[in-house]
Structure 1
Amino acid sequence: MTTMSSALILHHYPSSPFSEKIRLALGYKQLAWKSVIVPSVAPKPDVVALTGGYRRTPFLQVGADIYCDTALIFDVLEHLQPAPTLYPPHLKGVCRVFAQWADSSLFWAAMAYNLQPQGAAALFANLPPAAAQAFGEDRKAMSSGMQRLRPADATSAYRSYLRRIAHMVEEHDFLFGAEPCAADFAAYHPLWFTRHCVPVMAGILQATPAVLEWMDRMAALGHGRMEKFSAQDAITVAAGAEPLPVAGEAFQDDHGIALGSNVTVTAESFGLEPTEGELVAATRTRYTLRRTDPRAGTVHVHFPRIGYALKATP
């Protein structure tokens, strides 16, 4: 029986592509989860109460443990329910390498294509003009310093990437065989955004019918067993729980920063808001910060090492 402190709470919003990646993985593993809808733009006071600054979407909460970044969330889901696996033993390395490419190069090409003026107009067609302006300003702030693809260059790259994916799914039901793996979910979500969130832009998919058939197979996995949950209830769950113990986890020191130090963890690109706290674990694959919030109490916020910068605070 699942207690509130062990329930999976996904903080997301419907049109978030990275959230769709996790929703579909929850469906693949047929997991029960609680759905907290977060704002798509700042301010996000309920989010920050749990994460301490990180505001990318989605993040996963289990009691007083907060897991940031979909790559790390996949590892958490795999640990909680190993079957069906996201990382088949013979594909562990290639799955992760491909997923990292899909979450970066493929994603940014797809989104630069998707959010050309025609796509952006369709996305915000039923919202007041101020909402579109707020979204644009928010994402501009989150991507400060990033080099963005121009729409024409993004279109060329996206077409090429779709052809490469087609070559893979013409041979198998999924990218690397008869069953989906982490690579499939990472490649699917930016294409899902094209097809479902800006269908006016979805004509680019028609040149690769094998990709559309693969997308149908992915969509058929569903979203698992979802139950609506409020942000305040999620914060109450965190306040009433204790973070999982980290004692005994191997410490890998690549920075000369001792456990117990006050540190920040910040994404290397996109969403550069730092999370500050006490470094209580730095394992081979992740960082864990302990922090205390007036509303959420003491929480552990977890980040993957790849894609994030660890720094000691003065």
Structure 2
Amino acid sequence: MADLILHHYTTSPFSEKVRLILGAKQLPWKSVFIPPIMPKPDVELLTGGYRKTPFLQIGADMYCDSALIADVLEHLQPEPTLYPEPEKGLSRILAQWADTTLFWAAMAWNLQPRGAAEVFAKAPPEAAKAFGEDRGKMSAGNMTRLRPADATSAYKSYLRRLSDMLDDRHYLLGEVPSITDFAAYHPLWYTRRIESVRTILDLTPAVVDWMDRMAAIGHGAPEKFSADEAIAVAKAATPHTMLTDSTFQDDHGIALGSAVTIRAESFGLEETSGTLVAATRTHYTLERSDERIGTVHVHFPRIGYVLKKTEA
């Protein structure tokens, strides 16, 4: 198996989700640290424009979005499974809720003024402004942000509901962690990192205990790797997807071989352009070529992404 190369940064919540999955599956991986805000020239070179964090590189294949990355890791190492029966469908649906609704409520709480002040306390004054401007460009006014007071109410309710799910079990859907646990954990993990806002977790002791169990999974043993080394790996490799479904599913009237763009629906609106080489029930794949990296394939999940044909 080719090396798993995770492009991430330390404080990225979605990166923590993937790092824990790698730890749970005891998969060896290489760690490439990337900037939290633009510019990200090496990221854009490898993905063609996608700039959200993290993305997973396997040779000349780039897997975007933590939901798709989880499917790739499940294929590579089926045990312990992220999607236990009979709650396989339920775990995916709840994970999508956690990655969106729960995440945005938590982050609005986390980065309220006192939380943001703590996060950027040791950074120069312009750092907070640059971060805010960067994240604003990622949504381009396309999202409704919760105000801190509304986020407080929502976040408290969601924590109570998670606590209710833990009344008689160690994890959210049973006695072993599923994709629901990894998705629900990472925004709460970010809360716990910020002393001035983490007291909200004290309202739900069962959730705190569950978080301790999740944290104990760990990240495995990552090996430090550089962006230049990752680019060299891509250049030397031939794309070979780890995704198992391959049947063409045409929901857009766009034929394989067409020039297309793909972008996220609501956050991270930068487009990736290339040639559509796969459109299956679960994912899209674009082929791109560049002198520095050769030919690569960039993979996206269908859910949450917009496919458009490039007009001539």
> TM-score range, shorter-chain basis?
over 0.9
Change in 2 beyond 3 A, CA 1:259/1:34 = same
Identify the residue that residue 295 of structure 2 maps to in structure 1.
298
Identify the residue that residue 221 of structure 2 maps to in structure 1.
225
Matched, 1:175 2:172: yes
The C-alpha deviation readout for 1:15-42, integer Å capped at 9, x for no partner, is 0000000000001101100000000000
Secondary structure at 1:302 match in 2:
strand
Unaligned runs of 5+ in 1: none
Q: Which amino acid aligns with 2:212?
A: D
Are the equivalent residues in 2 in contact too, given 1:242–1:299 (CA < 8 A)?
A: yes
- What is the alpha-carbon distance in structure 2 between the residues aligned to residue 126 and residue 63 of structure 1? 37
Q: How does 1:50-65 map to 2 (within 5 A)?
A: 50-65=46-61
- What is the alpha-carbon distance in structure 2 between the residues aligned to residue 98 and residue 247 of structure 1? 23
Identify the residue that residue 267 of structure 2 maps to in structure 1.
270
Q: Which amino acid aligns with 1:301?
A: V
- What is the alpha-carbon distance in structure 2 between the residues aligned to residue 43 and residue 133 of structure 1? 15
Matched, 1:243 2:239: yes
Are the equivalent residues in 2 in contact too, given 1:50–1:293 (CA < 8 A)?
A: no
Q: Which amino acid aligns with 2:295?
A: T
Change in 2 beyond 3 A, CA 1:99/1:167 = same
Are the equivalent residues in 2 in contact too, given 1:287–1:303 (CA < 8 A)?
A: yes
Q: How does 1:152-191 map to 2 (within 5 A)?
A: 152-191=149-188
- What is the alpha-carbon distance in structure 1 between the residues aligned to residue 177 and residue 195 of structure 2? 25
Q: Which amino acid aligns with 1:76?
A: V
- What is the alpha-carbon distance in structure 2 between the residues aligned to residue 199 and residue 289 of structure 1? 42
Identify the residue that residue 102 of structure 2 maps to in structure 1.
106
Identify the residue that residue 29 of structure 1 maps to in structure 2.
25
Are the equivalent residues in 1 in contact too, given 2:245–2:280 (CA < 8 A)?
A: no
The C-alpha deviation readout for 1:103-139, integer Å capped at 9, x for no partner, is 0000000000100010001001111111111111000
User: How far off its partner does 1:225 sit?
Assistant: 1.7
Q: What is the TM-score of this pair, normalised by structure 1?
A: 0.97
User: How far off its partner does 1:248 sit?
Assistant: 8.8
Are the equivalent residues in 2 in contact too, given 1:288–1:303 (CA < 8 A)?
A: yes
Identify the residue that residue 124 of structure 1 maps to in structure 2.
120
Identity across matched positions, percent: 67
The C-alpha deviation readout for 1:252-273, integer Å capped at 9, x for no partner, is 0000000000000110011000
Are the equivalent residues in 2 in contact too, given 1:67–1:301 (CA < 8 A)?
A: yes
- Equivalent residue in structure 1 for 2:255, among 258, 261, 265: 258
Secondary structure at 1:299 match in 2:
strand
Unaligned runs of 5+ in 2: none
Q: Which amino acid aligns with 2:157?
A: S
Are the equivalent residues in 1 in contact too, given 2:245–2:282 (CA < 8 A)?
A: no
User: How far off its partner does 1:247 sit?
Assistant: 11
Identify the residue that residue 73 of structure 2 maps to in structure 1.
77
Are the equivalent residues in 1 in contact too, given 2:231–2:292 (CA < 8 A)?
A: yes
- What is the alpha-carbon distance in structure 1 between the residues aligned to residue 11 and residue 45 of structure 2? 23
User: How far off its partner does 1:170 sit?
Assistant: 2.0
Change in 2 beyond 3 A, CA 1:215/1:311 = same
- What is the alpha-carbon distance in structure 2 between the residues aligned to residue 123 and residue 188 of structure 1? 19
- What is the alpha-carbon distance in structure 1 between the residues aligned to residue 21 and residue 192 of structure 2? 19
Identify the residue that residue 89 of structure 2 maps to in structure 1.
93
User: How far off its partner does 1:64 sit?
Assistant: 0.2
Identify the residue that residue 151 of structure 1 maps to in structure 2.
148
Secondary structure at 2:296 match in 1:
strand
- What is the alpha-carbon distance in structure 1 between the residues aligned to residue 292 and residue 118 of structure 2? 38
Identify the residue that residue 199 of structure 1 maps to in structure 2.
195
- What is the alpha-carbon distance in structure 2 between the residues aligned to residue 199 and residue 15 of structure 1? 15
Are the equivalent residues in 2 in contact too, given 1:96–1:183 (CA < 8 A)?
A: yes
- What is the alpha-carbon distance in structure 2 between the residues aligned to residue 57 and residue 307 of structure 1? 15
- What is the alpha-carbon distance in structure 2 between the residues aligned to residue 248 and residue 215 of structure 1? 34
User: How far off its partner does 1:224 sit?
Assistant: 1.2
Secondary structure at 1:273 match in 2:
coil
The answer to which of 240-249 and 26-35 deviates more is 240-249
